[in-house]
Structure 1
Amino acid sequence: MEKNELRKEIRSRKRQFSAEELRVQSLSLISRLLVHPRIEQANTVMLYHSLPDEVDTHTAIDRLAACGKRVLLPVVLDEERMEVREYRDQACLQTGSMNILEPMGRPFQTLEEIDVIVVPGMSFDADGHRLGRGKGYYDRFLQQVPKAYKIGICFDFQKVDYVPSDQYDIPVNEVI
């Protein structure tokens, strides 16, 4: 299956669940994420502010920040680039260009300090290959942080046997 076909298939699978069902499925995934040894040991964690059809990361963001972790969230700059900014609390968020809540403030520059990156995806396979939404934001960003531990997170119905990948696709270290 090619990337665009797989995206269609995953979108179809997502539509089989109500927002409430996805929220309930998110709870166990986020619980597992929050007790992950890499997350517990990390000082700086990059997450994403989830869209309604993604694993709900909103409570994880607040809980990690409350535990004293430096939490970073992506900010889309244009059609090709994103940067990260530090999350402090809900008041620091504004709606960004893709209708995603993003932190205001200055860009976080010391990318080598990022210990763990929680990576969203349309689909993942057991080898850590990831299918994104097709714009390449994460693949370009992940190239800049080769030492960060990358955890893909998705619903079980998004996991497949094989995700097509090419030389520009950056795999994650593991998938929850």
Structure 2
Amino acid sequence: MKSKKELRQEFKMKRCQLSKEDEESLNHELLLQFQKIALTKVSYMHVFLPIQKYHEPNTYPIINYVKEFFPKIILVVSRSNFSDYSMQHYILDHQTIFETNEWGIPEPVAGVEVSPSVIDFILVPLLAFDVDGHRVGYGKGFYDRFFALCALETQRVGLSFFDPIGQIADRNEHDVVLTKAITPNRIYNFGTHGRDTSF
């Protein structure tokens, strides 16, 4: 088993080694898998915008799909506060103005703020995840703090180019697990307790 630090380095490298063609193909497969998820009961969907220099999965095709086929879903994006590792959340619409912060993250300048308590579906960025739904992020804890403010039944759906690893060595009981993870190959369902129930 490897630690989060080791996995962070390994999967950053794996993403950087993807060719542009492979990345485009994987993003297309992610979209096809995402389209299998039932969204009829979703009201507020939080989406992350990809950091291109980190080769994150491209969420723009997913955003466009939701806008076209589920126009009643309110899309939400966040602005990060690096002084306390918190996030503010804003409605994403045609009036949203973005700026790229010093870490290369596109963020809304301002807008209509949304409380985490109403968000019922979160697309979660990650570097790796394990077979029980534990994730490896960038290590700052933004999303763990965000999850703590959301309802227990909020869906936490990871997006990954790669399938899960066995287990993360230094996970702990305070980690908030994913409820689902989408890879180009399939969707993993972890429920609320972190065991894949897809099989």
TM-score (normalizing by structure 2): 0.79
2: CA distance between counterparts of 1:133 and 1:143?
18
C-alpha deviations, 1:30-70, integer Å up to 9, x for none? 22213311x34312111100122111101212332343121
Q: Which residue of 2 aligns with 1:59?
A: 61
Question: How many positions carry a matched residue from both structures?
Answer: 174
Q: Which residue of 1 aligns with 2:195?
A: none
2:122 to 117, 123, 126: 117
2: CA distance between counterparts of 1:34 and 1:90?
26
Which has the larger Rg? Answer: 2
2: CA distance between counterparts of 1:40 and 1:96?
34
- What displacement does 1:156 show? 2.0
Q: Which has the higher helix share?
A: 1
Moved over 3 A (4+): none
Please list every run of 5 or more consecutive structure 2 residues that lacks an aligned counterpart in the other structure.
183-199
Q: Equivalent pairs: percent with the same residue?
A: 24
- Report the AA paired with residue 165 of structure 1: R
Q: Does 1:85 align with 2:103?
A: no
- What displacement does 1:24 show? 1.5
The RMSD of aligned alpha carbons is 2.0
Please list every run of 5 or more consecutive structure 1 residues that lacks an aligned counterpart in the other structure.
none
1: CA distance between counterparts of 2:40 and 2:61?
16
Q: Which residue of 2 aligns with 1:147?
A: 153
Distance 1:122 1:33, change over 3 A: same
